[in-house]
Amino acid sequence: MVPPVPSAAAPTLQVPGATGADGDGGPTPPDRPFEAEVDPSSPNRNLAPISASLDSRDRLMVGDCLLSDLARDYGTPLYVLDEATLRATCRAYRQALEDSYPGPSLALYASKANSSLAITALVASEGLGLDAVSAGELLTALEGGMPPDRIVLHGNNKSLQELELAVCHGVTVVVDNWLDLELLSGIAPAHPGPVRLMLRFTPGIECHTHEYIRTGHLDSKFGFDPDQLESVLRHLAGCSWAWLDGLHAHIGSQIFELQPHRDLAGVMADALVLARSLGHRCSDLNVGGGLGIRYVSSDDPPSIQQWVADVATAVASACTERGLTLPRLLCEPGRSLVATAGVTLYSVGSRKTIPGLRTYVAIDGGMSDNPRPITYKSLYTAVLADRPTAPATEPITLAGKHCESGDVLLTGLALPATTTGDVVAVFATGAYNASMGSNYNRIPRPATVLVQNGVADVVQKREEPADLLRYDVLPDRLSALI
């Protein structure tokens, strides 16, 4: 049975001085609180999971589980995922599409954000589909119960193994380049029926986001260029093994603007006119994802409902203006679906104060479980799990434990005075933390627990140091020297 999602907002949490400042600009003023509004209608606009609450001693809870208890019971670093937030976000996308788009629709979870059997099963139970970008993500989707007809396989350099796995299971392949077509033409004859395809192209649309996560502009490794579109469509028209059922474009990630998404609708509708004129059914139009979330109090992303309404209205209008029957509208939320559901817990360790400069407070994780700050200079919001509302009395630099000077999670973070063993909770870590994590310094990956109604279930086990030796091979000539 699918558990319900709370329909009413819980009391607002006022947490002073919790947001890290960029660079060395100093701490957020203690009198400037962040408000973790527990609003299930659009979780991407909240800083905390929708089930976040305080117990009678003002300690932070998520899913009715005390975070410091989770840290004690399962160890740190620890990824915590709130089931209520995940389900609420799935339902927000599904309902917004039903309300705003007059044709059929389907939201696909971009599983590169965070791939696991548990997340797949949860998303599938809410009626969403999934996009995968590797054999590992595809196997996770299939084993997690996602129906193959609701899965698409992306990738700019798919292997033969990945394509064979997709074709064997009836998964839609998003064709990114000519090599995809060459490999598929050799695979397809061994399988009954045509291979279902979606064609990805670059729409030439810029958006204001980090240069590494802009994918819609012309200078991108993804998709066919616009001037190649007609030639590849004509080529596919002569391929009896291929069934081109849709077009795909994606303009980037962590986007707060709506206009680029509106512009995309017209570009894709023009491509749809061309595809159908060449005999392709193309019943699907996939506009990608990219909706941003609120990492710090100053972030102001559109709501899921606003984003979907703008996209749906633009697509419907563009198709109507061109005399097209409405395609099925697909979108691919990743970060905006899972990020806010996640909280990462760390334990405070050592401390170093450099008079007149800064105080470093070290935690037992860092860049191996969250590489985004060192990669993108990403910002987060953090509190002490057992003193989230206590006055912030000192600015600190929250440093990781890795042998890397750049391993810093937050600079200029205002917190109450910390002591060794305190648990730090970092919000909005459900996306691109676990999935981009590594074993740098041979540090094992954290466990993940899924919380709901006071119950915590381990959905990914913690690695142990010995696990890191599992794939090492010591040649006999070297073992003889030991």
- Taking the C-alpha atoms of residue 215 and residue 176, their distance in angstroms, rounded to an integer, is 13
Q: What is the DSSP string of 261-324?
A: HHHHHHHHHHHHHHHHHTT----EEE----B---SSTT--PPPHHHHHHHHHHHHHHHHHHTTP
Q: How confident is the model at residue 38 (pLDDT cuts 50, 70, 90)?
A: low
Q: How far is CA 195 from CA 130, 152, 163, 329, in A?
A: 18, 12, 10, 20
Residues 276-296 have a mean pLDDT of 96
Q: Point out the domain boundary residue: 333, 363, 379.
A: 333
pLDDT at 252: 84
- Whether residues 78 and 165 fall in one domain: no
3-class secondary structure per residue, 38-87: CCCCCHHHCCCCCCCEECCCCCEEECCEEHHHHHHHHCCCEEEEEHHHHH
Q: How confident is the model at residue 4 (pLDDT cuts 50, 70, 90)?
A: low
Q: Is 80 exceeded by the pLDDT of residue 3?
A: no
Q: Which residues contact 336 (CB under 8 A, 6 or more apart)?
A: 44, 89, 289, 291, 292, 293, 301, 304
pLDDT at 452: 98
pLDDT digits (tens, 9 = 90+) for 386-402: 999 999 999 999 999 99
- Whether residues 270 and 385 fall in one domain: no
Q: Is residue 1 part of a domain?
A: no
Q: Point out the domain boundary residue: 295, 315, 333.
A: 333
Q: Is 60 exceeded by the pLDDT of residue 267?
A: yes
Average pLDDT, the chain: 90
Q: Is residue 241 part of a domain?
A: yes
- Taking the C-alpha atoms of residue 9 and residue 150, their distance in angstroms, rounded to an integer, is 32
pLDDT at 319: 98
C-alpha closest to that of 202 among 156, 241, 163: 156
How many structural domains does the chain have?
2
- Whether residues 276 and 351 fall in one domain: no
| The dihedral formed by the CA atoms of 41, 337, 251 and 304, expressed in degrees to the nearest 10 | 0
- Taking the C-alpha atoms of residue 91 and residue 94, their distance in angstroms, rounded to an integer, is 5
- Whether residues 296 and 272 fall in one domain: yes
Q: Which residues contact 455 (CB under 8 A, 6 or more apart)?
A: 63, 65
Which residues face 397 on adjacent strands? 360
Residues 103-132 have a mean pLDDT of 98
- Whether residues 197 and 243 fall in one domain: yes
- Whether residues 329 and 384 fall in one domain: no
pLDDT at 247: 98
Counting residues of the chain whose pLDDT is more than 90, the rounded percentage is 84
pLDDT digits (tens, 9 = 90+) for 40-51: 799 999 999 999
222 lies in which domain range? 154-333
Q: How far is CA 351 from CA 25, 359, 371, 417, in A?
A: 20, 7, 22, 11
Token pair 């470093």 in the structure block, residue: 360
C-alpha closest to that of 220 among 173, 288, 271: 288
Strand, helix or coil for residue 140: helix
Element holding 242 (H helix, E strand): strand 242-248
- Whether residues 294 and 428 fall in one domain: no
Q: Is residue 263 part of a domain?
A: yes
Q: Is residue 478 part of a domain?
A: no
Residues 442-449 have a mean pLDDT of 98
pLDDT digits (tens, 9 = 90+) for 325-365: 999 999 999 999 999 999 999 999 999 999 999 999 999 99
Counting residues of the chain whose pLDDT is more than 70, the rounded percentage is 89
pLDDT at 33: 36
Q: Is residue 136 part of a domain?
A: no
Q: Is residue 74 part of a domain?
A: yes
Neighbours of 411 (CB within 10 A): 23
- Taking the C-alpha atoms of residue 411 and residue 194, their distance in angstroms, rounded to an integer, is 54
pLDDT at 218: 62
- Whether residues 387 and 320 fall in one domain: no
Neighbours of 134 (CB within 10 A): 19
Q: Which amino acid is at 261?
A: H
Instruction: Please report, for the domain that includes residue 171, its CATH number.
Output: 3.20.20.10
pLDDT at 26: 40
C-alpha closest to that of 268 among 210, 335, 324: 324
pLDDT digits (tens, 9 = 90+) for 136-188: 999 999 999 999 999 999 999 999 999 999 999 999 999 999 999 999 999 99
Structure tokens at 197: 């395809």
Strand, helix or coil for residue 386: coil
Q: How confident is the model at residue 221 (pLDDT cuts 50, 70, 90)?
A: confident
The answer to whether 398 and 431 have CB atoms below 8 angstroms apart is no
- Taking the C-alpha atoms of residue 469 and residue 463, their distance in angstroms, rounded to an integer, is 11
Q: Is residue 108 part of a domain?
A: no
pLDDT at 446: 98
Q: Which residue has the higher pLDDT, 20 or 298?
A: 298
- Whether residues 185 and 328 fall in one domain: yes
pLDDT at 147: 98
- Taking the C-alpha atoms of residue 443 and residue 189, their distance in angstroms, rounded to an integer, is 45
Q: How confident is the model at residue 253 (pLDDT cuts 50, 70, 90)?
A: confident
- Taking the C-alpha atoms of residue 387 and residue 424, their distance in angstroms, rounded to an integer, is 10
Q: Is residue 190 part of a domain?
A: yes
Q: Point out the domain boundary residue: 333, 350, 379.
A: 333
Q: Which amino acid is at 88?
A: A
Q: Point out the residues that are catalytic.
A: 403
Instruction: Please report, for the domain that includes residue 463, its CATH number.
Output: 2.40.37.10
Q: Is 90 exceeded by the pLDDT of residue 13?
A: no
pLDDT at 40: 75
- Whether residues 186 and 219 fall in one domain: yes
pLDDT at 204: 75
- Whether residues 302 and 397 fall in one domain: no
- Whether residues 40 and 180 fall in one domain: no
